[in-house]
Amino acid sequence: METRLLWFCNWSVLGVCATLKLPQIFAVLGARSARGISLPSLLLELAGFLVFLRYQCYYEYPLLTYLEYPILVAQDLILLLCVFHFKGDVKRAAPYIVLCVSAWFILTLQKWIIDLAMQGLSTTLVSWVPTQHQPLGPRDRNLCTFISAASKFAQLQYLWKSRDSGAVSAVTWSLASYTCAARIVTTLMTTSDLTILTRFVAMLALNTWVAATILHYQKTDVKSE
């Protein structure tokens, strides 16, 4: 039974992640606008995915427990290009792509670098999130989780400020919530890594919050029409 559950969770996550960002990408292309999408949120999410993927590769975790992350990184890069394109300055994406490629190699030059990136204190990123909204305390937060959490709060702040969901896809954020829930199960059944488990629990809560906020503003827009 456990083997079947693990198999289902692993492959369902891979299936969902293969198309996770497509609703968002198609929404942007269909609207020919990146309205509602927070660029800081997208960049922070990409950074979080990259660090998490490198950490799992470095410690040789089972491939099926993180195979979706290369797919997510690729889709985020495509979405980043779309956002810059509709903002009228696609060339600005180049430095960020170069930075991602460089970070991939720098993170594992020394063991302490990848450990710090995954588990170190996140004081350098506090400015991204208001103090009252910081999701984790100073003793139990890790940098990778904080980066990803900050990306969700950046999107939430953008939505709260604009009160407009724009081209943001609730489907994408809902699917992201499912992948986090499934990964909580696979982590408990395989590595039981507390750092990774903490990350997925936090991301499940925040992804659900963002999806609910998007749906709230979509309903508000419909009523106003």
Q: Where are the domains of the chain?
A: 2-217
d(CA 129, CA 96): 21
State the pLDDT at residue 23. Answer: 93
CA distance readout (Å), 55 to 12, 73, 117, 157: 22, 14, 9, 29
- Tell me how far CA of residue 93 lies from CA of 13, 51, 74, 100, in angstroms: 28, 19, 14, 11
For residue 133, what is the DSSP state? G
Pick from 195, 190, 200: nearest CA to 62: 190
φ/ψ (deg, to 5) at 41: -60, -45
Q: Where are the alpha helices (DSSP H) in the chain?
A: 2-18, 22-31, 39-58, 68-86, 93-106, 111-119, 143-162, 170-189, 194-224
At 171-187, the pLDDT tens digits run 999 999 999 999 999 98
Q: Is the pLDDT of residue 12 over 80?
A: yes
Q: Is the pLDDT of residue 217 over 70?
A: yes
Using pLDDT thresholds of 50, 70 and 90, give the confidence band for residue 213: very high
pLDDT, tens digit, 9 for 90 and up, residues 95-120: 988 998 998 999 888 888 888 777 65
In this prediction, residue 73 carries a pLDDT of: 92
CB atoms within 10 A of CB 177: 19
Q: Per mean pLDDT, which range of 80-94, 114-128, 146-160, 185-199 is the poorest?
A: 114-128
Q: What percent of the chain has pLDDT over 70?
A: 87
pLDDT over 90 (residue 64): no
pLDDT computed for residue 221 by the predictor: 62
Question: Which residue type is seen at 119?
Answer: Q
CB 199 within 8 A of CB 144: yes
Phi then psi for residue 194, to 5 deg, are -65, -35
Nearest Cα residue to 136 out of 179, 72, 195, 180: 195
Rounded mean pLDDT of 129-150?
55
CB 166 within 8 A of CB 35: yes
**Pairwise pLDDT comparison (137 vs 151), residue with the higher score:** 151
For the chain, give the mean pLDDT: 83
State what percent of residues in the chain have pLDDT above 90.
38
